[in-house]
Amino acid sequence: MSTNNAALRVEGVNISFGGLRALNDVYLEIGKNEVVGLIGPNGAGKTTLFNALCGLVTPDSGKFFLNGEERNFPHTNQLVDLGIARTLQGVGLFGDLTVLENVMVGAQHLATSGLISAALGRSGKDEKEIRRKSFAALERVYAGALANRRADTLSYPDTKRVAIARALVSEPKILMLDEPAGGLGAQDIEWMNLLIRNLSATMSVLLVEHHMDVVMSVCSKLYVLNFGEVIASGNSETVRRDPAVMAAYLGTGA
């Protein structure tokens, strides 16, 4: 059931690639300060839906609501202004820049004199504020001590932290995480769970994730996709017990 005060809601999303229907009449809603998980087997349509919400794919049809107001599906260059930030599976850091400089690149919305030059401190007008916000974002992901390290010297778990910090520097109201726990060990998954819970105090979070321990631990609501359709939604216990989910995903370990 939809609510008018949802942070984000989409209805009737349909996407086809050639003759293949990737998403069929998909509905998804993210409440304010809610952590929502999007799960399903490989090829279920999770990434396609995520990309549609982030402006990387344009739906054939469907409705997009932000804070109860219907809008067009966004383009990627509109996300910051809409209060949306995302991470992608590929961390995508600049190896020859410091950690802080990598996060500063995500602060382009603060720059008034050019994206890269301002973000890297080549314009004194913007540098101080960008640097302050970038360091604050690093501290939110427990990575302030890494600020002066070159990105290509980081461990894989630390690159995950930096990628999330780069998304946080835009101070989003909605954060979309694409497989944040992918490639992490048990100890690192613990801090990822803690981080996501902490972030939900100030923003809504959508995560696409294969680690069921993560989604069951941090998500208040789950949507399960299979063959491009939502086959179940609800809290973790409701979804866990759903026969369709057990057959399509949980029961097979896909």
**pTM confidence score:** 0.88
Domains of the chain in start order, with CATH, are 1-83+172-254 (3.40.50.300), 93-170 (no CATH)
Tell me the Cα Rg of the chain. Answer: 18
Per-residue model confidence as pLDDT tens digits over 173-223? 999 999 999 889 988 999 999 999 999 999 999 999 988 889 999 999 999
User: What per-residue confidence (pLDDT) applies to 154?
Assistant: 95
- Both structure tokens of 41: 């087997």
User: What per-residue confidence (pLDDT) applies to 1?
Assistant: 46
Residue carrying structure tokens 């696409």 = 208
Per-residue model confidence as pLDDT tens digits over 89-131? 656 788 999 999 999 987 766 555 454 554 455 556 578 888 9
Section 38-58 average pLDDT: 93
User: What per-residue confidence (pLDDT) applies to 253?
Assistant: 43
Picking from 119, 114, 125, 53, the residue whose alpha carbon sits closest to that of residue 83 is: 53
Is pLDDT above 80 for 47?
A: yes
Full strand arrangement of the beta sheet holding 204-208: 84-86, 174-178, 204-208, 35-39, 221-226, 229-234
Round to whole Å and give the CA distance between 106 and 134.
Answer: 8
Picking from 19, 11, 92, 81, the residue whose alpha carbon sits closest to that of residue 52 is: 11
